[in-house]
Amino acid sequence: MRPNYGTSPGVPGPAGASFSPERTNFAVYSQPATGMELLLYSSDADDEPFQIVTLTAPEYRHFYFWHVAVAGLPAGTLYNWRVTQTDGAGFQQQQEVLDPFARSITTARWRRADWVAGMPLGLRGIVVPVADERGPAPRGLDGAIIYELHVGGFTRHPSSGVRQPGTFSGLTEKIPYLQDLGITHVQLLPVTAFDEQDVPETVAALGLKNFWGYSPIALASPHPGYTSYMDVAGRDVAGRDAAGQVDEFLGMVRAFHAAGIGVLLDVVLNHTAEGGAAGPSLNHKSLMPDTYYHQDEAGYRDYTGCGNTINTNHPLVTGMLTQTLRIWAEERHVDGFRFDLASVFLRGTDGAPLAEPPCPWAIEEALAGMPLIAEPWDAVGLYHVGNFPGHAWHEWNGRYRDALRRFLRGDAGLTGEIATCLAGSSDLYQASDRRPVHSINYLTCHDGFTLNDLVSYRDKHNEANGEDNRDGWEHNLSWNCGTEGETLDEATRRIRGQHARNAIALLLLSQGVPMLLAGDEVLRTQGGNNNAWCQDNPVSWFDWRLTETNGDMLNFVRQMIALRRRHPTLSRRHFLTGKPENGSTRPDVAWHGAEPGSDPWDSGSRFLAFTLAGCGDKEEDLHVLINMSERSESVPIPTVDGKRWHLAVDTGRDSPDDVVSRAAQTAWTAPHYVSQPRSVVVLEAR
């Protein structure tokens, strides 16, 4: 039998459970609550709490924070709140809820389909110690190469060979692979606790679940399913301390930092798993029913496509969101954040866009110096690529993605727009005194086709998702190279491989910050599924056998990353001007057509070349030929005083001659170079 722990009023903050061996302070905000109880549980197996602590006003409530200190409570204790609300007629309703600031949770007893208001919740917080050491200073994104991955999907496949598949520990084992690839930052799809059961009935009927994690239930807790302290069914592993979930996450971050790799988290601060009126009451609906979400006379406003929208510019809510981010930054040492559907941050409490929204500025101030990346749109058309508010915000550059996809598939008349994209999108960022680094350049991400599928499918094929192929993006801008889907035709497979290498080459030759989707370096396929959010199976998993099967593509990507990292001129701090700089006689960039003196901006052109000056006297110049037409071009090569050009890349050649390491390069002595159809060529001068 557990002892009856002594209690005292405690203090109203910080929110959540603040552990020390002497006492643990619990605090939760709820203005409409007329009563509050703290429920303490011994384990997930217990139906009833071993102790109920009743909080009374005013001693245990201050500024609508309900608070209590429990003496000597051991780490690992499970807990929830039970909130009482009283309506105008005096009717009382009680609801057990999860602490919104729980630093760790257990989900083993949670059954969404069985949820009934007023019944035990099934989700429980865990009291955990807080790491007291300081992490390293966050790494900025100058010179960064981001690799977006899913913690579960990266090592879940049997071929991964890790001891704990699908976990933070399993990901840690793959750090040497990421080091060898050459990336500087991982960007992890949501790792905060989310509801895997939050799927439509038709999806659940197929045995599928919420895999991507964009359904948060506790923003300060690691997802239990990604820890080795939970089995694949979400149950505590016998004999292991569930409070160690945070330690496992922190250990992963430390390992990445030791390897020189930064950790960015994809966070969902725009909606929650509570959904609309028909959704369950997990925490905010009962604690802050009139405050936390956008609502009007008709009910919950939905700007996310998920049933509810967080009222981010309400002062209390803004404070809550920034506090959860600081927990990950200060206690768990992550290096930055990517914000899902971040244009929600611009909506005032009435839902209308604000000219000066407080939320993004408050996040920027609370996390000064940390990389902040916005997905600058929401689900109903609020689009802010190029004008997301704040000084420090980077943006997923959707305009870059669309322009490059069109150019890669062969659309004509885009050379001017492509040059602007390759030069860092000054049309979007220069006027607001931002720099190329604020553009996160990408061609693929978790949401949409993989690179392999971008060159193999014209249309999405999402039938396996259980929504009659209605889900997913229609605007793919893809090219199947003449055949839909998988094929054994060698000619088609060759042009697809070349097309994929073109995409990687242009991405890594662009000013700004490149982002790669995990698995693109080995041509991972999802079978044409461009919305695999519910596919926790081989459709979404990284098949590690591909590192051998498609080793030629892996080598190309690795060598292209190495080329980018040895050329600071590809990651300039300021926009290109076309003029000499720092006393040089060469312009920082010169643009060329296929013929001497020809106009590279011709409306029908699909060819573009440029010469990029090295930064300083020691860095080699680059000359790049981009030919997306169906014909070869014999192109004159500019002369460089005292130097000779060396071939580094030609995607028109077969592997391994498509990319040449610096040590193996030979001088190119001819005055012309034949640019093959649909190819990218890179030469280095020395």
Buried b (16+ CB within 10 A) or exposed e, 196-224: bbbbeeebbeeebbbbbbbbbbbbbbbbb
Q: Is residue 60 part of a domain?
A: yes
- The yes-or-no answer on residue 490 being catalytic is no
pLDDT digits (tens, 9 = 90+) for 265-281: 999 999 999 999 999 99
pLDDT on residue 45: 87
Residue at which a domain ends, from 514, 541, 568: 568
Give the contacts of 535 (CB within 8 A, at least 6 positions apart). Answer: 208, 211, 464, 465, 526, 529
Q: Is the peptide bond before 596 cis (omega within 30 degrees of 0)?
A: no
How does residue 230 score in pLDDT terms, banded at 50, 70 and 90? low
The total of other beta-carbon atoms located within 10 Å of residue 356's CB is 8
pLDDT on residue 505: 98
Q: Is residue 632 part of a domain?
A: yes
User: In 3D, which of 246, 193, 188 has the Cα closest to residue 219?
Assistant: 193
Residue at which a domain ends, from 539, 568, 597: 568
User: Quick one: 118 and 154 in the same domain?
Assistant: no
Q: Is residue 136 part of a domain?
A: no
pLDDT on residue 548: 98
Tell me what the pLDDT averaged over the chain comes to: 94
Partners of 266 in beta bridges: 338
Contact 95, 86 (CB under 8 A): no
User: Quick one: 205 and 343 in the same domain?
Assistant: yes
Confidence (pTM): 0.96
Which three-class secondary structure string do you get for 403-462?
HHHHHHCCCCCCHHHHHHHHCCCHHHHCCCCCCHHHEEECCCCCCCCCHHHHCCCCCCCC
- Residue 506 CA to residue 640 CA, distance in Å, equals 23
- Residue 614 CA to residue 588 CA, distance in Å, equals 8
Half-sphere exposure of 320 (CA within 13 A, CB side): 29
pLDDT on residue 235: 47
Residue at which a domain ends, from 93, 126, 159: 126
User: Quick one: 220 and 253 in the same domain?
Assistant: yes
Spot the catalytic one: 96, 99, 196, 375. 375
Q: Is residue 554 part of a domain?
A: yes
Residue 25 — φ and ψ, nearest 5°?
-95, 130
- 594 vs 381, 509, 531, 666, 678, CA distance in Å? 40, 19, 39, 24, 14
User: Quick one: 175 and 230 in the same domain?
Assistant: yes
Domain that includes residue 635, residue range: 574-685
User: Quick one: 345 and 470 in the same domain?
Assistant: yes
Contact 677, 625 (CB under 8 A): no
Spot the catalytic one: 195, 340, 417, 684. 340
Q: Is residue 138 part of a domain?
A: no
User: In 3D, which of 668, 642, 542 has the Cα closest to residue 157?
Assistant: 542
pLDDT digits (tens, 9 = 90+) for 191-215: 999 999 999 999 999 999 999 999 9
User: Quick one: 347 and 457 in the same domain?
Assistant: yes
User: Quick one: 595 and 661 in the same domain?
Assistant: yes
Q: Is the peptide bond before 32 cis (omega within 30 degrees of 0)?
A: no
Range 602-628 average pLDDT: 92
Tokens read off for 252: 């992963």
Question: In this structure, what CATH number is given to the domain that contains residue 222?
Answer: 3.20.20.80
pLDDT on residue 134: 78
Give the contacts of 258 (CB within 8 A, at least 6 positions apart). Answer: none
Q: Is residue 528 part of a domain?
A: yes
- Residue 13 CA to residue 683 CA, distance in Å, equals 60
How does residue 233 score in pLDDT terms, banded at 50, 70 and 90? very low
- The yes-or-no answer on residue 375 being catalytic is yes
Question: In this structure, what CATH number is given to the domain that contains residue 640?
Answer: 2.60.40.1180
Question: In this structure, what CATH number is given to the domain that contains residue 93?
Answer: 2.60.40.10
Residue with token string 């969101």: 321
User: Quick one: 375 and 524 in the same domain?
Assistant: yes
Contact 103, 221 (CB under 8 A): yes
pLDDT on residue 234: 43
Q: How many helices (H) and strands (E) does the chain have?
A: 15, 31
User: Quick one: 210 and 322 in the same domain?
Assistant: yes
Contact 342, 306 (CB under 8 A): no
pLDDT on residue 564: 98
Give the contacts of 4 (CB within 8 A, at least 6 positions apart). Answer: 51
Angle between helices 398-408 and 415-422 (to 10 degrees): 130
User: Quick one: 541 and 679 in the same domain?
Assistant: no
User: In 3D, which of 683, 656, 659 has the Cα closest to residue 672?
Assistant: 683
3-state SS class at 290: coil
User: Quick one: 331 and 182 in the same domain?
Assistant: yes
User: Quick one: 544 and 580 in the same domain?
Assistant: no
Give the contacts of 523 (CB within 8 A, at least 6 positions apart). Answer: 450, 451, 452, 497, 500, 546, 550, 553
3-state SS class at 612: strand
Top pLDDT among 237 and 307 is at 307
How does residue 241 score in pLDDT terms, banded at 50, 70 and 90? low
Number of domains in the chain: 3
Tokens read off for 573: 């701090």
Q: Is residue 461 part of a domain?
A: yes
Q: Is residue 134 part of a domain?
A: no
pLDDT on residue 10: 97
Give the contacts of 201 (CB within 8 A, at least 6 positions apart). Answer: none
pLDDT on residue 243: 66
